[in-house]
Structure 1
Amino acid sequence: MEDRLLLGQTLAFTGDPFVEGPGAARHDPHGAVFIRDGKIADLGPADRLRAAHPQAAIVDHGADLILPGFIDAHAHYPQTAIIASWGKRLIDWLTTYTFPEEMRFADPDHAARTARRYLDLTLAHGTTTVASYCTIHPASVDAFFAEAETRGLRALAGKTCMDRDTAPEGLRDTAQSAYDDSKRLLEKWHGRGRLEYVITPRFSPTSTPAQLAALGALWAEHPDCLMQTHLSEQTDEIAWVRSLYPDARDYLDTYEAHGLLGPNAVFGHAIHLTPREVDRLTEAGAALVHCPTSNTFIGSGLFDMTLAPKLRVGLATDTGGGSSFSMLRTMAAAYEIAQLRGQALHPSRLLWLATQGSAKALNLHDKIGTLAPGMEADLIALDLASTPAIAQRHARANDIWEAIFPTIMMGDDRAIAATYVAGRPVG
């Protein structure tokens, strides 16, 4: 791979804006990123890097903002075809749309087509890493990883496990088959290139205690893997969990009691947490993932962003419960939800959530999510004047944050001027 020198504005986080404020980001209006062997090898002012790397092929992105590629920390690629389906509440939505669609993934060809379409869509929106749930079918995992591998993506996924009769016939496995299938897939894909397997019980209402215990045992055998699941998305879901696990102290305890809580645990949604759950999540070093378009679309509630300074918090589309493949739209929704809670989020925090915050939630912050030497060169060039409406507001910006915010609030795939995966241009 030839050396590349990308020119444009650059924005790099050197700290956490939830702790340090906007000063945690370093903006260079005439910056450059030097890429060698798929990684960022140098970063700094354009003039210095031009002189230091005269042999590099120059790609001039003009006034576009060079950022890390977006990281979607919680998604369901099998739900691609049912995004934006009218529904009521979570359980109705699962029954009406999700479960029937996921049954189709018994067909490996259907899984392969959907994986291809899904990654086309996410890359078009500047998302370079996704952590996805698959279905109970091992072929759904193989399809996702095979497509990601072909594209050279860093990607995470796991077989979704469900053995309780709350899931329909045709979408149930067993405690033993969940363990066996997950272990076989883990051994096949985990650590292969840029791929990581994630142990994936869907959530406590669709798993028996025996299955949760089996997956907890598998995680204990492979503690370097992540474990992903759902937690406290809706109030009626929490009541459902209480009826199924009457001896549990709370929703989180249904996982903790079966070995499914730890620093590599990633819990989607986590809207209606009790004080005990917040304390245990903090003590365990677990991560939460905020899914704002899903939370509003299905009427789940408003995530509390004041948890961010004490817990690792990532950001996600949660497609197809989420209503957009775009992390820009997801940032906009996160801003709107925070406003409803009286928690105005500065643009630095929104960008951080979609990049370094999600990388930290997935324990990948040493590899992706920020511009720094040694990091993998998954990058985007963001056009900050991609539409007439955005351009006219951008023209009146007084600083970089005023320049970025209209694109966060109104941007879409048209704002993604270029995408690089491991240093290679996409498309």
Structure 2
Amino acid sequence: MPSLYVHVPFCLKKCDYCAFYSHSLADSAEDLSAMYLEGLEIEVAKKQQDALEGVSSLFIGGGTPTVLKETDLEGLLTMIHRYFPMSSSVEQTMEGNPGTLTDRKIELIRSFGINRFSLGVQSFDDQLLGAVGRIHTAQQAREAIGRLRQAGFKNLNLDLMFGLPAQNMLIWQASLEEALSYSPEHLSLYGLMMEEGTPLFERYAEVPGEARGTGFGSALAADTEQVDLLPDEDLQAEMYEWAVKRLRQAGYRQYETSNFARPGYECQHNLGYWRGGDYIGLGPGGVSCLNGARWKNIEDVTAYVNLLYKGETPLDESGLEVLSLRERMAERMILGLRLEEGVHLKGFENDFGADLRDIYGTVLERYNHQDVFVLKEDYLCLNRKYAFVANAILQEFV
């Protein structure tokens, strides 16, 4: 069965580092959320046929789904469960940010069977939150955690970020320690990415190259406005490595490069992606992949809705992409090696008709002397000491 992702492209305000497709509801001159829900129902009804046997998991992300008005949030959840009925045993996740969660919204979310919540905390330091354009405070994050627990959520993920402007090791450690004090079942730790086209990227693009170094240095912008210190790559690596050790001590399993869970609380939805499963993505910007074919919806609410009203598929300009055998094998390696379990040798052979060691023997041999890759029973794994630089290594499989 495929997994189901529903993209809600709205926020109160876009964060300075965010490159995901979303609109600020406060800046919208028209009721885009109502228009979005009308179009989404047309798409949901069409895509129901792609999951006749049901879905393996549900993830409602964005954007910030909890920014929707209570009536719109209720309409969204009603629609999803009307067309994709799910038992209580199916993992159903909703993302949300502190400051957008009311008691009534949490009650609605729980009443529709959402059994996992992912809260975008990012930091418990107000200065850092402001430095990247987050609009919530640390106190609002604390209150949101309390509300979610009081409402009965027993599967809670907290997102945290490292490598933020003005963040040092002590501040990072304090945020992670506070997160641990709430005993979340899952933690996702992300290093700050400087995505082109975002306000944060533009801010640091002004910094002279010799002072900026790799983009993570202390400097003054060209107009002499002070630019906050960004941790360099060595400090980011230290932050990451400290967190891995600390979470291991606290009983969390690092089952994926950036994700840590108590036993039995690994995110099933994301595991589906990393293991090469099929998925359906709904809403503007949603991505689907079924039977080796992949497509993405247009990132424009108005165009998305208009195309659906005309009976057309709201594809973006890349259209439908049929992945070649080589592309599918490469994706299995790149995603699977991010997992602690690695890539199952027999599963790879069953799916692609070849032994991965024959296909990628040159890459494996190149890193053999460094013990980058490890064979554990029937799985090929990435040595976890290379997890922080995993992305660079895994590009070898493209």
TM-score in terms of structure 2 length: 0.40
Q: If each structure's strand is expressed as a fraction of its own residues, which one has the higher value?
A: 1
Tell which has more relative contact order, 1 or 2 (C-alpha 8 A, sep 6+): 1
